[in-house]
Amino acid sequence: STMIAYILFTVLAILPLFIYLRNPYVLGDLRYTVTVIRIGIRMSKMKKNFSSLLDCFLDRVEKHPEKTFLIFEESSYTYSQADRESNKVARALSMHAQLKEGDTVAVFLGNEPHFVWLWLGLAKLGCVAALLNSNIRSKSLVHCFSCCEAKVLIAGVDLQGAVEEVLPALREQGIRVFILSDRSDVEGIESLSDKIEWTCDEPLSPELRANVSLKTPAVYIYTSGTTGLPKAAVVNHERVWMSAFLLTIIGVHSSDVLYLYLPLYHSSGFLMGLCGAIERGITVVLRQKFSASNFWNDCRKHNVTVIQYIGEIMRYLCNTPKKDNEKDHKVRLALGNGIRPDTWVDFLQRFGNVRICECYGATESNIGFINDVGKVGAVGREHLLYKMSCPYALIRYDTEKEEPVRNSRGFCIEVPKGKGETGLLVGKIGQRTPFYGYAKNKQQTEKKKLRDVFVQGDLYFNSGDLLRIDEEGFVYFQDRIGDTFRWKGENVATTEVTDHLLTVDFIEEANVYGVKVPGHEGRIGMAALKLKENTDFDGAAVYEHVKNFLPSYARPHFLRIQDAVAVTGTYKQLKAKLAEEGFDPTVIQDPLFFLENGKGYVPMTQEILAAITEGTLKL
């Protein structure tokens, strides 16, 4: 019998090797499966006995109060200090803004420790934070309040100008405005820093947030989505947990250090980064924004082991001049989205053995993928377990008509499995895979829903993204449909840019679209304009306007003056055609202008085109 035991033992020992040789991803798959099952068990426990990510933070504070939680510039804060800072914020806001459970507060702030204290403080009061994009201005800024019903705004001192610009509109809506400074001379703006300073840092009673549950909103995150003004995606506590677990899934453990420079008002920085770090109880190195020249020095200085990225960032890093010590760092994991395959290969060659985990998802989406095995180019991998719990499908899509193809019985058609055919990703909306939509925006919420997909009465979330899946189950992102394009990692809603251009007095019609630029991810903004009769194009006036009202990534970098802009019927096809024609002055007969950095719109020339193509002119 010892013989049999011995043989059995040998077979068991060798078996994994055989499986491994046949399927090189088996270990990764196994790790993924075990992790996902463990997360599933944790979530089901939480359904019975709710705890929020804030409770998780408080557990960490108790467990390792002296561990460094946040490093920002020259300062560093332990878990315990962060806890006390946020107690002060919560107490000050409770006293001076009379906040209570269920209230929504708009946070208008760049990346800095106060962002984190504010959010934790609000959570301690059972309040919901609406995380405003710190680049937005004017009409879009005001709009953000109506969709989340925030009655209080807290802004960074560097954003006071933007707040003053819309102050009359805010006061009309009865919104109280606080600024993170010690004093304010402006009527209608109250100072907050002094009030925080003078408050005690004693813990707050959990009774204050007794009604918070998995299904109540935790934060609102704004997406410019596919059309019009920003929409507030409702992110409830369950969703916060699910996103925070992403770091666990890719194998981040408690001794890791996360480098966080992505904006905290987006889901990748906030949910995956900050919330994920709290779930793991790790140290976060926070930066106001990305800097290519400081990136690796920061990583070395703080022993960073995990970084987040967007595709553009990885390319910037690869474009920096080569140095001898490039592989001298401790970064072992990179989590992000949008890296091009050539950059991916380049990055590994230059910066060494970093496991790049490319993922796919959207703030409001009920489906996501992650490629945790490092397959170059893929945004994820199909897993049976995941597909069983979150049913999704790729369906045939008609790009001309811009709608899914339906068969004679009126149902959608799934693309053949494992053939690599491109299809529209849809995710079944159900109890485990809910779609909460956008706050106070039924119309846009309905627009993302697709009915009668495979059977009468079923309901799916329409991702608006075209993907394909190869025979090994790897998922590849192909294209995004609709009225949005991406530039520098931000979504640009063409309709919003159009609205702004139309307020310039001599512009009659505007058609905004994104064009591809050699060597860049995404598309850069371009607009075809029709001028009002008997007016001349005034580049300085357009520049002044876009500079004041649009963040730099959304500004049209090229303008094309046309005699007529078709706006009906074939509108979208026309956009596609214009985008294809691009900005080559030898091809396009219409007058063309280029937005020169800091100068304004200048006539487009062959020299500018050459400089852009060669990469000597930075966009």
Size of the site for ligand NAG (CB under 6 A): 5
Cβ nearer to ligand NAG, comparing 206 with 603: 206
Stretch 396-435 residues interacting with ligand NAG (CB under 6 A):
none
Taking residues 326 to 365 in sequence order and writing x for each that binds ligand NAG by CB under 6 A, - otherwise, the string is ----------------------------------------
Q: Which is nearer to ligand NAG, 302 or 555 (CB)?
A: 302
To ligand NAG, the closest distance from the beta carbon of 257 in angstroms equals 8
Check binding of 173 to ligand NAG (CB under 6 A): no
DSSP string, 316-371: HHHHSPP-TTTT-S---EEEEE---HHHHHHHHHHH-S-EEEEEE--TT-S--EEE
Least separation in angstroms between CB 330 and ligand NAG: 7
Please say which residue, 52 or 134, places its beta carbon nearer to ligand NAG.
Answer: 52
CB of 233 to ligand NAG, least distance (A): 24
Among 211, 297, 349, 597, binds ligand NAG (CB under 6 A): 211
210 binds ligand NAG (CB under 6 A): yes
Q: Which amino acid is at 367?
A: I
Task: Quote the distance between the C-alpha of residue 140 and its chain's center.
Answer: 18
What are the φ and ψ backbone dihedral angles of 319, each rounded to 5 degrees? -85, -5
Say whether residue 51 binds ligand NAG (CB under 6 A): no
| Structure token digits, residue 387 | 């597909």
CB of 81 to ligand NAG, least distance (A): 17
As measured in angstroms, the least distance from the Cβ of 303 to ligand NAG is: 4
- Residue 186 within binding range of ligand NAG, rule CB under 6 A: no
Residue 286: phi and psi, rounded to 5, are -95, 135
CB of 109 to ligand NAG, least distance (A): 26
Q: Which of 324, 304, 372, 314 is nearest to 345 (CA)?
A: 314
Whichever of 50 and 553 has its CB closer to ligand NAG, that residue is 50
Question: Of 42, 251, 212, which Cα lies nearest the Cα of 128?
Answer: 212
| Structural Rg of the chain based on CA atoms | 26
Q: Which is nearer to ligand NAG, 176 or 302 (CB)?
A: 302
User: CB of residue 146 vs ligand NAG: minimum separation in angstroms?
Assistant: 24
Compute the least distance from the CB of residue 336 to ligand NAG, in Å: 24
Q: Please state the closest distance from residue 209 (CB atom) to ligand NAG, in A.
A: 7
Structure tokens at 390: 């979150």
DSSP secondary structure code for residue 536 in this structure: -
Task: Say which DSSP state 155 is in.
Answer: E
Shortest Å, Cβ 101 to ligand NAG? 4
Task: Give the nearer residue to ligand NAG in terms of CB position, either 92 or 304.
Answer: 304
Q: 236: part of which helix (H) or strand (E)?
A: strand 231-236
Q: What's the CA gap between 484 and 226, in Å, rounded?
A: 5
Report in angstroms how near the CB of residue 323 gets to ligand NAG at its nearest.
20
Q: Given the complex with ligand NAG, which of 195 and 302 has the nearer CB atom?
A: 302
Measured between its terminal Cα atoms, the distance across the chain in Å is 74
Residue among 143 and 302 whose Cβ is closer to ligand NAG: 302
Tell the residue number behind the tokens 């400081």, with chain if given. Answer: 294
Nearest to 225 by CA among 465, 559, 564: 465
- In the complex, the smallest distance separating the C-beta of residue 210 from ligand NAG, rounded to whole angstroms, is 5
The least distance separating ligand NAG from the CB of residue 277, rounded to whole angstroms, comes to 16
Give dist(CA 68, CA 73) in Å, integer: 14
CB closer to ligand NAG, 299 vs 528: 299
Distinct helix (H) and strand (E) counts, the chain? 22, 30
Give bridge partners of residue 515 from the DSSP assignment. 524
Q: Report which secondary-structure segment, H or E, holds 608.
A: helix 606-614
Tell which phi-psi region holds residue 102, choosing left (phi > 0), alpha (psi between -120 and 50) or beta.
left
The answer to the question of residue 101 lying near ligand NAG (CB under 6 A) is yes
What does the alpha-carbon distance between residue 280 and residue 249 come to, in Å, rounded to a whole number?
Answer: 11
Whichever of 76 and 495 has its CB closer to ligand NAG, that residue is 76
The answer to whether the beta carbons of residues 193 and 107 sit under 8 Å apart is no
Binding mask 278-317 for ligand NAG (x = CB under 6 A): ------------------------xx--------------
3-state secondary structure of 225: coil
Q: Which CB atom, from 101 or from 149, has the smaller least distance to ligand NAG?
A: 101
Judge whether 69 and 117 are in contact, CB under 8 Å: no
- On whether the CB atoms of residues 600 and 539 are closer than 8 A, the answer is yes
Distance in Å, CB of 302 to ligand NAG, minimum:
5
Chain positions 460 to 489 lying near ligand NAG, rule: CB under 6 A, are none
As a whole number of angstroms, the distance between CA 139 and CA 454 comes to 41
Separation between Cα atoms, residue 509 and residue 129, nearest integer Å: 38
Identity of the residue, 209 or 340, whose beta carbon is nearer to ligand NAG in the bound complex: 209
Q: Where are the beta strands (DSSP E) in 361-440?
A: 369-371, 380-381, 392-395, 397-398, 403-404, 422-428
Shortest distance, position 490 Cβ to ligand NAG, whole Å: 32
Cβ atoms 249, 39 nearer than 8 A: yes
Q: In the complex with ligand NAG, which residue's Cβ is closer, 298 or 470?
A: 298
- Please list every residue from 488 through 547 that binds ligand NAG, using CB under 6 A: none
Which amino acid belongs to residue 47? K
**Based on CB atoms, which residue is closest to ligand NAG, 329 or 500?**
329
CA gap 561, 392 in Å, rounded: 44
Contact 527, 501 (CB under 8 A): yes
Q: 49 or 589: whose CB is closer to ligand NAG? A: 49
CB of 75 to ligand NAG, least distance (A): 14
CA atoms of 170 and 176, how far apart (whole Å): 8
Q: Closer to ligand NAG at the Cβ: 326 or 414?
A: 326
3-state secondary structure of 534: coil
Q: Which residues bind ligand NAG (CB under 6 A)?
A: 101, 210-211, 302-303
